[in-house]
Chain A
Amino acid sequence: MLETLRNFIVSEIGVGIFALDREYNLLLWNRFMADHSGISAEQAIGRNLFELFPDLPQKWLSKKVDSVFMLHNFAFTSWEQRPWLFPFRHNRPITGGIDFMQQNCTFMPVREADGEVSAVAVTVNDVTDVAVYQSMLKQAMAKLEESSSRDGLTGVYNRRFTETRLLEEIGRVERYQAETFSVILLDLDHFKQINDTHGHLGGDEVLCEVVARVRDVLRDTDVFGRYGGEEFLLMLPQTGREGAVAAAERIRKAIAAAPILYNEVPIHATGSLGVATYEVGAPKVERVKAQADLALYASKRAGRNRVTFYSAQMVDKELGAG
């Protein structure tokens, strides 16, 4: 009775079970394996696994099976690293969005009374549902992260995220001796007046239009963040002085190129920009920001709607002026 029960369970359980001898010949092939592979137990038993499934990664898998025989050890494969061993169809053909049944496999030593391992038993668990949920969760997390890193009005990165990216870039430059980056601070000129004249909605429209124009002249790799009310910070990876000043000039021109229409009223907006390049070996995010800020201040003082690159004399000048 017990024997019948065991055979029934091994055959009917909703988990793939098969067993191998030292030459990788199949000793057992349960119904789950037969149904999903289309190879019946009669066809499978006695055959070499790698002959039946020539696409299996033989070198790696045989090593795994060997390790179970040799070390009397368990071995595992997980869908997260290797989605499947056997190209089985899954039961979510419509809603799955996944090519084959995702599988977790466990390889177990079948030990005889003398302690020797006579076979390796393998279970194949269908974890397609887990994989689907996990990928849904990942998408939701990515969306959440995306929305928590964006400025609500303009859609560019918020201050917190921009700061994080600056720190990461400093880490990258210092660790891998990557090419340095530059920072542009952009401040809209006379923004308070725009708000006073056209109302806050008019001011918001200007911010959004400026963002759209700046975006048009940026590279995909540039990081564009809103730093305060009408202040923006741009981080240009792998860009030195020359490239950064040219980019800042493109931004300035794009903003000033044409008036922004709000309720069919033209608003003339311009921006002042300060540019500084990160100095390798001084891993302080504050420093490059302070330098860009000094350069921005110089642009403002020189009459606005212009680009200034940071120079060391500015410190003295500002200190003297202050």
Chain B
Amino acid sequence: MTVIALTEDQRDALQEITNIAMGRAGALLAQLMGSFVHLSVPGISLADASNISGTIAQTVGRELAVTAVRQSFSGTLRGEAMVIYDERGCRNLADLMGYEDEVGQATERELLLDVGNVLVGACLNGIADLLVSPLSYSPPTIIAENAEVDRLINPDQLTWDYALLIQVRFTLEIRDFTCHLLTLMPEESISQLKKALDAFMESI
């Protein structure tokens, strides 16, 4: 626990970096979608594997049913990102993402993947750029459709004890759209992150 916990300086630096990154991400997303995207101040915490579902439910709220897309990223930093939509999904954003036809079931899934991919990329690339550790991404996949929040992660299958959780909420007020981005980095990635944060602090 002491090994993976960030020092106060590292924590401040990470908060600062994520703040800057989300600011950039918001501007870029607005440019891409032609609509202002509001991002909350990122919440950073250390998540305990034994209570991860509770932590997610607390962050996201216990909505009736959620739909979630996951994507893994790798580079010096590794982990998984999840975009969690409420029961309305993201149908409202179809035209902003260049969809012209009526949104059927296959299209709706593709749209969930497209929106998730763009949000994950915009936010994580901002962080990765500041930390000078470029990332690669796996294709996004849908992990839950209209499922309970508790079902998103199966606690019996976890191979880590602690993970760093960065959480951001997106809203597009004019489209009545909201979703959450959760980025989870397991222990072994946290030591890499700490090195990168130290290097970042030295560089400024």
Contacts and interface: CB of A to CB of B under 8 A. Distances in A.
Interface of A: 57, 59-64, 66-67, 70-78, 80-82, 104, 106, 111, 115
A193 B15 CA distance: 81
Contact of B129 (A72, A74, A104): A72
- Give 6 closest A-B pairs by Cβ, nearest first: A73-B121, A63-B98, A81-B110, A60-B98, A76-B139, A74-B137
Interface stretch (B111-119, B149-157, B173-181): B111-119
B158 interface: no
Contact of B98 (A59, A71, A82): A59
A59 B100 contact: yes
From A71, A75, A106, A111, residue with most partner B Cβ within 10 Å: A71
B113 A71 contact: no
B146 to A, nearest CB: 12
A74 B117 contact: yes
Interface of B: 25, 28-29, 31-32, 97-100, 106-107, 109-110, 113-114, 117-118, 121-122, 125, 129, 134, 136-137, 139-140
Given A104-B139, A115-B129, A74 B121 contact: yes
Contacts, number: 69
Nearest to A73: B121
Interface of A is mostly: mixed
Contacts of B98: 57, 59-64
Given A71-B32, A104-B139, A78 B99 contact: no
Given A63-B32, A80-B109, 15 more contacts: A57-B98, A60-B97, A60-B99, A62-B98, A64-B114, A71-B25, A73-B118, A73-B122, A73-B125, A75-B114, A75-B118, A76-B140, A77-B110, A78-B113, A81-B113
Nearest to A69: B32
B17 to A, nearest CB: 16
A81 B107 contact: yes
7 contacts: A60-B97, A63-B32, A67-B32, A72-B125, A74-B121, A78-B110, A81-B110
Contacts of A80: 106, 109
A142 to B, nearest CB: 17
A270 B104 CA distance: 48
Instruction: Find the residue from B28, B109, B121, B125 having the highest chain A CB count within 10 A.
Output: B121
Contacts of B118: 67, 71, 73, 75
